[in-house]
Amino acid sequence: MRQYTTPQTSPSRSRSADVVQYLLLASLLCLLWRFFSEGLVKTDPGTSPDFSHLAEHCAHIPPIPHHSFVKRQDNLAQTLHALGASAYVAEPGASAAYFANISGLHWGLSERPLLLIVRPTQDENGDVRANISVLTPAFEETRAKLLPIPSEAGVTYVAWPEDQSPFSRALSLLPDLDGAWIFMDGAVRTFITAGLQHAAPSAQVTIAPVEVRRLRERKSSEEVDILKCVNEVTVLAIRATRDYMKIGMHESEARQLIQSALTAAGLQGAFALTLFGENAALPHGSGTDRALGKHDFVLIDCGGTLHGYHSDVTRTFALPETEVPRSYLPIWRMVHKAQHRALAAAKNGTVAASIDRAARSVIQKSGYGDYFTHRLGHGIGLETHESPYLVGGSEDILLTGHTFSDEPGIYIEGKVGVRLEDCFYINDDGDGRYLTAGVGGPAASPWDP
């Protein structure tokens, strides 16, 4: 038998060939990277949605101007003076952002307090004006002085060394503590309130009353303009996202789409809850990543911020190719009716509980009352959820400038969930008006969100 031998390649020649192949591959990758980075190779525009047109919608809306912050500070000072209070104290957050442009993004909370302190003072004409001070850790004083705090008369910075009490240093601003009333913003942490009270046992350190809270609750025309635009563009983002959705996609894919749209619109802190089918019967989601079926509703609850002001919009809708079960359509229409009934009841001077009741009665009469499991709505502004709230049992009074979400829902676990949400405000005529009216307002039908 004739034997055949396989030619053997020497180890050195094999290694040389590997090196040549590696260098050729590396060169090819470098060329491809150059082509893509310099735009020599164009990607197919259809591979990723283009939401860039959304950026135009709110581009003309300015942030709150300097003089408005000063007016807010003086309004606070005059309210404190009328109530006989010596000071108002807030930490970085929504209230400090409202009065002094110090949000949580400007300064994070820690065990070392940084406090905004506003005191009423009278000028030579007897007019009450705001005196603005900031308590800061001593080693952070330079950074604290970089905070963009609008002020008419300047800001006083009070620094406290690590081995001293920050609360005693803060109270050194008040000439007379005996019987003084010190109002604390409701979001101030307990250890700060307790520390101030301990350092001034003869003073009354207490949560600011409703007269102070309403200064931020009731929105100015500037604020309403921002809230209108941020809520309008959120609706537009949902509609644009729907155009790219398809049967079989997953909830996570829809979430990425809507977040991309909101970000393209120029909103900060975009959030989105995307629920398909029976997952929408759990108001805050199931933690799964369900695929969209041919008979499923889509629920998207989303928003973001513009100049610090929040949007919050929910749509429950179908795709053009969706075959919605007949039994689900009356549920959608009932939620839609309840939403409009609530707005019609929202008037200046009405009690918050009555607005919740107006929407709830519609759903109860239809036989689905047990499936409307949460309050009707919440205040909205520099926080997504802020006081007052539209909930049964609330005795808060709606006033011009108040802003709320209007979000009734029906949730039948294991089957279907429907929620519709648009925010509204009480206008100068005392009527409720949707913040989304500029883009058509609430959804018109399951196929027209």
**Sheet containing 87-90: order of strands:** 155-160, 128-137, 115-122, 87-90, 181-184, 204-207
pLDDT tens readout for residues 215-250? 999 999 999 999 999 999 999 999 999 999 999 999
Q: pTM to 2 decimals?
A: 0.89
Tokens read off for 371 = 């499936």
Q: What pLDDT does 30 receive?
A: 47
Q: What are phi and psi of 385, to 5 degrees?
A: -120, 115
Tokens read off for 69 = 């912050």
Tokens read off for 299 = 């629920």
How far apart are the C-alpha atoms of 335 and 368, rounded to whole Å? 10
The stretch 287-298 carries a mean pLDDT of 96
Residue type at 144 in one-letter notation? A
pLDDT tens readout for residues 281-292? 999 988 899 999
* DSSP letter (8 states) at residue 59: T
Find out whether 228 and 435 touch, Cβ atoms under 8 Å.
Answer: yes
| Candidate from 30-34, 91-95, 276-280, 293-297 with smallest mean pLDDT | 30-34
Q: What's the mean per-residue pLDDT of the chain?
A: 92
Find out whether 406 and 421 touch, Cβ atoms under 8 Å.
Answer: yes
Q: What are phi and psi of 409, to 5 degrees?
A: -155, 160
Continuous H helices in 114-209: 141-144, 166-171, 190-199
Residues facing residue 207 across a β-bridge:
184
The domains located in the chain, with CATH, are 66-217 (3.40.350.10), 221-439 (3.90.230.10)
pLDDT tens readout for residues 190-221? 999 999 999 999 999 999 999 999 999 999 99
Confidence check: pLDDT of 11 > 50: no
pLDDT tens readout for residues 68-121? 999 999 999 999 999 999 999 999 999 999 999 999 999 999 999 999 999 999
pLDDT band (50, 70, 90) for residue 47:
low
Q: What are phi and psi of 291, to 5 degrees?
A: -85, 150
Is the preceding peptide bond at 175 cis, omega within 30 degrees of 0? Answer: no
Q: What pLDDT does 24 receive?
A: 52
* DSSP letter (8 states) at residue 210: H
The stretch 253-264 carries a mean pLDDT of 98
Q: What pLDDT does 286 receive?
A: 82
The stretch 331-340 carries a mean pLDDT of 98
Of 61, 88, 119, 58, nearest to 439 (Cα)? 58
The stretch 296-301 carries a mean pLDDT of 98
Find out whether 434 and 441 touch, Cβ atoms under 8 Å.
Answer: yes
